[in-house]
Structure formats: structure tokens, C-alpha cells
Amino acid sequence: MPLSALLETDAPVLVFGASGQVGDAVVRRLLEGGRQVVAVSREARDGPAGVTWLQGSLDAPPPLPAGVGVVFSCGPLDNFARWYAGAAPGAHQVVAFGSTSAETKAASGDADERALAGRLLQAEHTVLETAARRGASATVLRPTLVYGVGRDANLTRIASLGRRLGWFPLPRGATGLR
């Protein structure tokens, strides 16, 4: 099913984090579905056809066009939640990427991991509550691990090492789930 079939409106789609690994894939799928995309990036960008690039960030957004029906957040959820709570994009639907770390690290023995889980849960709550208050629908997606296009910093390195060596070493006594 094309991504656009899941969207509630035919209005243009605003994508934050469009130049990142997840955002790039989201933009391509939206274009395949015939959607008009307004993409925000910290650096100036060109193309592809069907994408209007705006330079800015969530901390310093560019002027956004009126009439955007859906907003995608493909970057850090806590930054998006702050922006969304203070902005008035008028979108009827919000789709934001979070992380399974919101649940899996909540009871971690590592204080930094527990803090990350807390930030993610608070950001999810903010997005969902803000959307409800505005009468918009909101979906928070929690991918476990994002990989497959060679832009990640974990599985691509592991696969590269395995290809180079012809085998992959497993650490003795490792207890982690990764």
C-alpha cells in the first residue's frame, strides 16, 4: 500500500528531517503516491521534482506555507514536540517518528538511558496531547532500528566488517540485546 493511501487529506505534506535516512525514504514514498511535499532542511537543497525545499530547522523554522494537511517528523522527537506545541501549522494529521527506547530503556540500569526514555515518552505525550487539543489526528511510530540504505551508524558497519572478513566476531560474555 502506498504511504499516501494512509493520509487523511490530499493537501501538501510538510516533512521535517527530510534529508535524513528516514525522511529521505518518506519523501520518496510520498512522491511515488503523487503527493506534493514541502521539505525542511538545515542546508539548502534541490530536487527532486514535486518537492519544495525550505531551509531552516525546528529551532528556527522558515515561513511555512498555508494549506499543509499532514506534517511528518522524521528527526528527533523531542525537538519536534517542542515546535509542534508552540506552532500552529493547521495540519489535520501528524506522523512522528520516535523510538522503542521509550519503553525498552525506561527501566534500564543506566541513568542516561532512563533519561532518554523519559524524554521520548514526554515528547510522545506532548505531540498526542497537542494534536488532540487541535482536533488533529496523530500517530507516533516507534521503530526499533532503522537501517538498510547505508546511512546508519550501526548495522551498515557490522555488515561491512562481515563482508570484509568473511565472518563476524561475537563478543564473549556479551549480555546486551543488540
Looking at the domain assignment, is residue 30 inside a domain?
yes
19: three-class secondary structure by DSSP:
coil
- In this structure, is residue 122 part of a structural domain? yes
149: domain CATH number is 3.40.50.720
Give pTM, 2 decimals.
Answer: 0.81
Position 173 in a domain = no
Q: What is residue 108's DSSP assignment?
A: -
Q: Provide the residue range defining the domain that includes 133.
A: 3-165
Our count of domains for the chain comes to 1
Q: What percent of the chain has pLDDT over 70?
A: 88
Q: pLDDT tier at 5 (50, 70, 90 boundaries)?
A: low
Decide if pLDDT at 149 tops 70: no
- The per-residue pLDDT for range 41-77, each reduced to its tens digit, is 888 788 788 899 999 999 998 999 888 899 999 989 9
Which has more confidence, 6 or 142? 142
pLDDT, position 2: 57
* Polymer length in residues for the chain: 178
Give CA–CA dist 120/1, Å, rounded.
29
Q: Is residue 87 part of a domain?
A: yes
User: What is the distance between the alpha carbons of residues 145 and 57, in angstroms, rounded to a whole number?
Assistant: 24
Q: 17-39: per-residue pLDDT in tens? A: 998 888 988 999 999 988 999 99
* 178 found inside a domain: no
